Amino acid sequence: MCLSIPSKVVKISEDQTMCTVDTMGVQRDANLMMMGDGDVKVGDYVLLHIGFVMNKIDDEEALASIDTYKEILELMDEEERKKAILEDDECPNRGL
């Protein structure tokens, strides 16, 4: 099972097809093609699945989720933490 950690949009490409998100300190690019034009802005929290932004999430809900993830991550070593944060890009359920 893949869990999507809320990620904050920090940059949007000029053509608005890609963005850079920050997922608990890890930055990566994400595709915006599943969203409508102008739906996502810098500063928004989003949920990703296999590199695509799937939806926007309310700031309060995003921060509450991030706090819960932080509690879980505190119980892991550094390698496990990074893997858990990046797992969405390598979701084994992609083809389902």
Topology (CATH level 3) of domain 7-88 = SH3 type barrels. (2.30.30)
Q: Tens digit of pLDDT for each residue in 19-75?
A: 999 998 889 999 999 998 889 999 999 999 889 999 999 999 999 999 998 888 888
- Other Cβ atoms closer than 10 A to 20: 16
- The CA-CA-CA angle for residues 34, 1, 74, to 5°, reads 105
SS3 26: strand
Residue 83 is predicted with a pLDDT of 75
CA distance 61 to 72: 17
Q: CB-based burial of residue 6 (10 Å sphere; 0-12 exposed, 13-18 middle, 19+ buried)?
A: buried
Classify the C-alpha dihedral 89-45-10-77 as positive or negative: negative
Q: pTM of the prediction? A: 0.78
Rounded to the nearest 10 degrees, how much is the dihedral formed by the CA atoms of 77, 82, 87, 4? 100
